[in-house]
Chain A
Amino acid sequence: MENTSINSSDIIVFMIAGFILIGLMFGFILYFLLSYKSKKKDYNLLVFQKKEIDKQQKALQQTLYELKATQAQLIQSEKMANLGELTAGIAHEIQNPLNFVNNFAEVSIELLGEMKEELDGGKTENTQEIMKDVISNLDKIKHHGKRADAIVKGMLQHSRISNGNAELTDINALCDEYLRLSYHGLRAKDKSFNASLNTGFDPTIPQIKIVPQDIGRVVLNLLTNAFYAVNQRAKLNEEGYKPTVGIKSRLIKDKVEITVTDNGNGIPADVVEHIFQPFFTTKPTGEGTGLGLSLSFDIITKGHQGKLTVDTDIGQGSVFKISLPVT
């Protein structure tokens, strides 16, 4: 091992190298501190912004949840409003068979009284004839009872929450039923109201797979609007004006088209572009939710892959067309 003595220049080199090294280390630490501080500031801002975004997201989620709940409530309200529209019509529809039932029951009681008298008097020649009449009356009572039963079942079906299951349905019968119900409903509320009803149902239309409660709701909505429109125009007392509402169906290739027409005032151009938007209504406050046409549009386009269009002329009236695929 070589023995080397130390000299002052080595010490100077050692001192200078030492100072430079320690200076470098302190420089590094200082740089680290400053860059950390600056980065931390940005980081804190980022964390703050993230927290704010999270907070807003939570609030939005809550709002969305509330909106969905409100939407569900509104849909239910709209359905109940529809049912309200139907109630008077339904009452009218039930009243007819009930009248028949009452009348035939009264006649049957009288006939049975006559028969008793005949039998008490020992006469039997007319009893067979009277018995035939009574049986015929009871048949009619049964028939009208069933009709009333069908009306009540239809009403319950309408109020029932749709399970979304499509079933084969006679579209003409459905349209006819809702036309009568909506017309009588309006008549029950406003005795002075009268309108001509034009129907034209294509008998070649097969039963199609639809959700009957939903399509019924759409037809009812269009008819209610049509009656509202002609009623509004009728109130203007125009000379020679005859309120007319029509509902027609026809088969076009693989589609069924349902047309609801009215000869009301028609819809202005600035209004027609909004009529399928939710909460848009021209009716006075409390008379319309503004959801009827919007829901109808969704039921037809999203629920049944069909089309709902409107054609309107000011002073001439409106034509709403529902197009549904047969398959």
Chain B
Amino acid sequence: MFLSVYHTFYYSSLFICAVVSLSMIKGLSPSFRWLAVLVVLTLVVEVGAKYVAYCFDTSNSAVYHVFTPIEFLFYTLIYALLVDDSKWIKVFWFCWFTLVVSEVINTLYVQPLGVSNTNIMMMESVMLVFFSLVLFLKIKESMEYENLLIESVFWFNSIILVYYASNILIWGFHSIKIYNLTDPPTLIYDVNLMLSGILYLVFSFAIFLNYKSSSNN
């Protein structure tokens, strides 16, 4: 079922993160509780998609056509809670709505269910980079935290920025619309898997920090 060391790394990280999330979910702040749910949901979807692809020998792209808007819904919720500014919250929800509409149009006219929805993933990445920058701005404005390095919000936001900025590049290369590649090199997937693995490890760390600070309070 698992094809390479990259896959193993990715799924192990996701699994660890899901275990951390489930074990600490009660002690987390509302935003990180949503993140924990998202991580567990991602594990279920990824394993399910992999199982379907393995058992039935078909493309699992359709799963991501549905999951991407759901994943983005969770991120929107998380950022809305973290930013806590009505003006930005409206902007975030508008982004989510735009992504859902775009997903429908993209599926109908550009990338059907049998093809990866890389355009939407790229769009999601751009929006998440934007969310992340907004949150950094709010952190700087509020001056709420004494030491950012021990703040779960900082780690979560930093990895979102790095990961999704990289994703723009990855899905850019992958997108048939940009490079006309019907068969992209496995290197792109491998890099993506490595970065995803790192993403979930940092998420685990952020969840742990959040749990610790919440229980201290």
As a 0/1 sequence over residues 1 to 20 of chain A, the CB contacts with chain B under 8 angstroms (1 = contact) are: 11111100011001001100
Which residues of B99-151 are within 8 A (CB) of A? 136, 139-140, 143, 145-146, 148-149
Docked-complex contact B136 and A25, CB < 8 angstroms: no
A316 to B217, CA, bound (A): 81
User: Of A2, A14, A24, which contacts B188 at CB under 8 A?
Assistant: A14
Chain B residue with minimal CB distance to A43? B143
Q: Judge whether B2 is part of the interface by a CB distance below 8 angstroms.
A: no
Q: Judge whether A33 is part of the interface by a CB distance below 8 angstroms.
A: yes
User: Of B145, B176, B180, B187, which contacts A14 at CB under 8 A?
Assistant: B187
Contact-size category for B: 20 to 34
Docked-complex contact B187 and A4, CB < 8 angstroms: no
Docked-complex contact B166 and A40, CB < 8 angstroms: no
Q: Which residues of A contact B148 (CB under 8 A)?
A: 33, 36-37
Docked-complex contact B136 and A2, CB < 8 angstroms: no
Docked-complex contact A18 and B169, CB < 8 angstroms: yes
Chain A residue with minimal CB distance to B137? A32
Docked-complex contact B162 and A14, CB < 8 angstroms: no
Q: Which residues of A contact B181 (CB under 8 A)?
A: 4, 6
* B residues adjacent to A (C-beta < 8 A): 136, 139-140, 143, 145-146, 148-149, 158, 161-162, 165-166, 168-170, 173, 176, 179-185, 187-188, 191
Q: Judge whether A48 is part of the interface by a CB distance below 8 angstroms.
A: no
Q: Which residues of A contact B139 (CB under 8 A)?
A: 36
Chain B residue with minimal CB distance to A47? B143
Given A2-B180, A39-B143, A40-B146, A32 contacting B136 (CB threshold 8 A): yes
User: Of A1, A2, A21, A33, which contacts B165 at CB under 8 A?
Assistant: A21
Q: Which 10 A-B pairs have the closest CB atoms?
A: A25-B162, A43-B143, A6-B185, A4-B180, A2-B180, A29-B158, A25-B165, A3-B182, A14-B173, A21-B169
Q: Which residues of A contact B162 (CB under 8 A)?
A: 22, 25-26, 29
Given A11-B185, A36-B139, A21 contacting B166 (CB threshold 8 A): yes
CB distance from A10 to the nearest CB of B (A): 8
Chain B residue with minimal CB distance to A30? B158
Docked-complex contact B169 and A40, CB < 8 angstroms: no
CB distance from A18 to the nearest CB of B (A): 6
CB distance from B74 to the nearest CB of A (A): 22
Chain B residue with minimal CB distance to A33? B148
Q: Judge whether A28 is part of the interface by a CB distance below 8 angstroms.
A: yes
Docked-complex contact A11 and B140, CB < 8 angstroms: no
Query: Assuming A14-B187, A18-B191, A29-B158, what are 14 further A-B pairs, CB within 8 angstroms?
Result: A1-B180, A4-B179, A6-B181, A6-B184, A14-B169, A24-B165, A25-B162, A28-B161, A32-B136, A32-B140, A33-B148, A33-B149, A36-B140, A36-B148
Chain B residue with minimal CB distance to A14? B173
CB distance from A139 to the nearest CB of B (A): 90
Given A11-B187, A18-B191, A29-B158, A1 contacting B176 (CB threshold 8 A): yes
CB distance from A190 to the nearest CB of B (A): 73
A11 to B185, CA, bound (A): 8
A306 to B130, CA, bound (A): 71
